[in-house]
Amino acid sequence: MPEAANETGVLIDGKAFAAGLRDRIRHQVARLHEAHGLTPGLAVVLVGEDPASQVYVRSKARQTREAGMTSFEHRLDAGATEEELLGLVRRLNEDSRVNGILVQLPLPEQIRGDAVIEAIDPAKDVDGLHPRNAGLLSNGGPAMVPCTPLGCLMLLKDRLGPLKGARALVLGRSNIVGKPMAQLLLAEHCTVSIAHSRTRDLAEECRRAEILIAAVGRPRLVQGDWVRPGAAVIDVGVNRIDAGNGKTRLVGDVDFEEAKKRAGAITPVPGGVGPMTIACLLLNTLSATCRQKGIPAAEFAPG
């Protein structure tokens, strides 16, 4: 519970946690290879040249290889048609070397993101965005869970232990973070609220939360005095702001310097949630591989 959060300091070091998780995944990937001759394969598709997406995709490919998995990279130019991308997704669905498929978002505007996501084989949907996986998550079935909320949940459980009964507020209602995050917390028996841009008196809603997840993409929206004393604060925001002198820097959705004076536990930006997202992508790729081959994923779970 949040009140017990302070023993190991206020900061939640997502970077260190993610590094440990990647090590354990690498070990399980090696075991899977020894026991079954299998090497998980992850295909990442990038359309266009968005600089931030290029950085993410490179990082995903490198960490996939470091985990002992096979990385398949596919790049289409910014003018690619929806039909071209759908054709590629269908080929990846059929390719037995590919166990996970991730189409980097956002997509150029001539391509309907929903149509692409729905074309991905749900069993290979390591992003957990296919409606089948979203439905399974809300019904408590064996879903592929979106990587960022899964990473947030792992950090919370590592710091707080069982979350049962905690009052949680998810700030943001995207399909990729806010909604699945709320489902995951509900499955952990939290009392969950979802707040968003139209919520009245956001500050008061935040002050009630023992667990506060900020995922709205608004730099330092959550002020220090919005944080309930002792609360666990997970900051999903990655916002590039002007730092003066012609430079930029990354800040989260939370005013970290002020919030850390009140929080019982808080993730920094960078070095909090970000590194967990790719680690969870590797985790999903490993478990998708096991499921596709009829191997209980628990036998190769990194713990």
Binding site for ligand GUN (CB under 6 A): 102-105, 127, 147-148, 176, 277
Q: How far is the CB of 267 from ligand GUN (least distance, A)?
A: 16
Write down the catalytic residue from 63, 104, 124, 179: 104
CB distance 69 to 282 below 8 Å: yes
Nearest CA among 152, 251, 270 for reference residue 211: 152
Q: State the Cα torsion 284-285-287-290 to the nearest 10°.
A: 170
Q: How far is the CB of 167 from ligand GUN (least distance, A)?
A: 27
Q: How far is the CB of 53 from ligand GUN (least distance, A)?
A: 7
Q: How far is the CB of 78 from ligand GUN (least distance, A)?
A: 16
Q: How far is CA 137 from CA 51, 150, 175, in A?
A: 32, 11, 12
Write down the catalytic residue from 127, 235, 253, 255: 127
Considering the complex, state which of residue 120 and residue 265 has its C-beta at the smaller distance from ligand GUN.
120
Considering the complex, state which of residue 105 and residue 301 has its C-beta at the smaller distance from ligand GUN.
105
Q: Are strands 247-251 and 167-171 parallel, antiparallel or unpaired?
A: unpaired
Both structure tokens of 269: 């930006």
Q: How far is the CB of 127 from ligand GUN (least distance, A)?
A: 5
Considering the complex, state which of residue 89 and residue 147 has its C-beta at the smaller distance from ligand GUN.
147
Query: Is 127 one of the catalytic residues?
Result: yes
Considering the complex, state which of residue 121 and residue 210 has its C-beta at the smaller distance from ligand GUN.
121
Amino acid, single-letter form, for residue 235? D
Query: Is 104 one of the catalytic residues?
Result: yes
CA angle 83, 48, 52 (to 5 degrees): 135
- Cα(173)–Cα(252) distance, rounded to whole angstroms? 17
Considering the complex, state which of residue 166 and residue 280 has its C-beta at the smaller distance from ligand GUN.
280
CB distance 155 to 273 below 8 Å: yes
Query: Is 164 one of the catalytic residues?
Result: no
Write down the catalytic residue from 28, 60, 235, 253: 60
- Cα(116)–Cα(257) distance, rounded to whole angstroms? 40
* Residues annotated as catalytic (active site), given as ranges: 60, 104, 127
